[in-house]
């Protein structure tokens, strides 16, 4: 066996220690990554970081507003394009930090998907066929909803109220459609500009629903149809005063439940703690009563034995 083969020979102890060293290196790398992820998570959840993101979104909205004044700020367009790239880089870096900080948990929050979609639209280049999509960068302002907790709570409450709103909106549509067919049949020849067909009548009833310009609409038909006031009054009362108030009531009730949900959970936890404390005291009191009863029974058993031992008479009766 030559020198080369002896040099290439691996000692058995070294061979056994190699997997341990590799496992130790992996564990050390995992610890380092975990520490870095924890520090990043604390950073992205810090108040100053959230305020910075809000400030950048507001500044981005201001620059998008300045771009609409093409004649007045045309000399700034080149600088605004550079600032736009800076904003996009900031949002991409901010999203990357949040993904690294939360890992897979990032994708469990629907609001994070919303931010991901908005930032994804921001990096679309201004190429041929994609210039229209560049207009969607204004949607970055909607990220204020996901960043500011109170806005997020309001939108969440609104989304939770959709099932209840569906029923009320369906009722409103039935009322509007019935009134549209009736109005088209009654006032088609009198005011065709408002009641010429079903679509035009629906749009007219929508204006009546908002109580906007309804005197002009009613005046166009009431001279030729004096009974028309009944139609307008009944429709406005049912739609604008009753059904719309039902919609508002559903939204307010759902929002109140959403806002009070954390407080209700805290009250439930407090009541559970108090219940456990009371039950523990009752159990201790029951044990004390049981121990006292046992002592009474023992005393009751000892007293007759003492009387029998003394000759059946109390000590005071002996002579």
**pLDDT-derived band at 32, boundaries 50, 70, 90:** low
CA distance readout (Å), 66 to 87, 109, 118, 132, 299: 15, 33, 21, 19, 95
Contact by Cβ (8 Å): 207, 217:
yes
Q: Is the pLDDT of residue 126 over 60?
A: no
Q: What mean pLDDT do residues 94-111 have?
A: 88
Q: Which fold has domain 18-147?
A: 1.20.120
**Domain regions of the chain by residue span:** 18-147, 149-319
Q: Is the pLDDT of residue 145 over 80?
A: yes
- Tell me what pLDDT residue 128 has: 44
What's the pTM?
Answer: 0.54
Q: Is the pLDDT of residue 65 over 70?
A: yes
**pLDDT-derived band at 5, boundaries 50, 70, 90:** very low
What's the rounded Cα separation, in Å, for the pair 223 and 190?
A: 9
**pLDDT-derived band at 205, boundaries 50, 70, 90:** very high
How remote is the C-alpha of 315 from its chain's centroid? 83
Range with lowest mean pLDDT among 148-152, 217-221, 226-230, 311-315:
311-315
What's the rounded Cα separation, in Å, for the pair 80 and 84?
A: 6
What's the rounded Cα separation, in Å, for the pair 266 and 260?
A: 10
Q: Which fold has domain 149-319?
A: Helix Hairpins (1.10.287)
pLDDT tens, residue by residue, 78-100:
788 888 888 888 988 998 999 99
Percentage with pLDDT > 70 across the chain: 78
2 or 94, greater pLDDT: 94
């Amino acid at each position: 066996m030559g020198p080369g083969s002896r040099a290439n020979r691996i000692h058995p102890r070294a061979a056994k220690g190699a997997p341990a060293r590799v496992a130790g290196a992996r564990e050390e790398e995992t610890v380092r990554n975990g520490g870095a992820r924890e520090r990043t998570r604390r950073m992205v959840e810090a108040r100053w970081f959230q305020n910075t993101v809000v400030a950048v979104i507001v500044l981005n909205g201001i620059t998008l507003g300045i771009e609409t004044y093409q004649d007045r700020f045309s000399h700034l367009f080149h600088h605004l394009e550079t600032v736009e790239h800076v904003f996009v880089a900031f949002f991409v870096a901010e999203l990357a930090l949040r993904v690294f900080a939360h890992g897979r948990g990032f994708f469990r929050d629907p609001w994070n998907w919303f931010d991901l979609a908005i930032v994804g639209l921001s990096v679309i280049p201004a190429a041929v066929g994609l210039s229209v999509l560049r207009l969607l960068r204004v949607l970055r302002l909607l990220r204020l909803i996901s960043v500011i907790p109170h806005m997020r709570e309001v939108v969440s409450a609104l989304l939770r109220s959709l099932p209840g709103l569906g029923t009320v909106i369906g009722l409103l549509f039935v009322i509007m459609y019935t009134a549209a067919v009736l109005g088209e049949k009654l006032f088609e020849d009198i005011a065709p500009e408002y009641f010429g067909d079903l679509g035009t009548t629906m749009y007219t009833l929508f204006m009546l629903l908002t109580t906007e310009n309804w005197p002009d609409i009613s005046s166009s038909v009431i001279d030729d149809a004096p009974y028309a006031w009944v139609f307008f009054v009944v429709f406005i009362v049912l739609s604008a005063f009753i059904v719309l108030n039902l919609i508002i009531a559903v939204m307010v009730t759902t929002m109140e439940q959403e806002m009070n949900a954390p407080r209700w959970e805290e009250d439930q936890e407090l009541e559970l703690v108090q219940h456990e404390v009371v039950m523990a005291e009752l159990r201790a009191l029951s044990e004390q009563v049981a121990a006292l009863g046992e002592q009474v029974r023992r005393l009751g058993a000892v007293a007759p034995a003492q009387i029998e031992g003394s000759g059946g008479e109390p000590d005071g009766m002996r002579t």
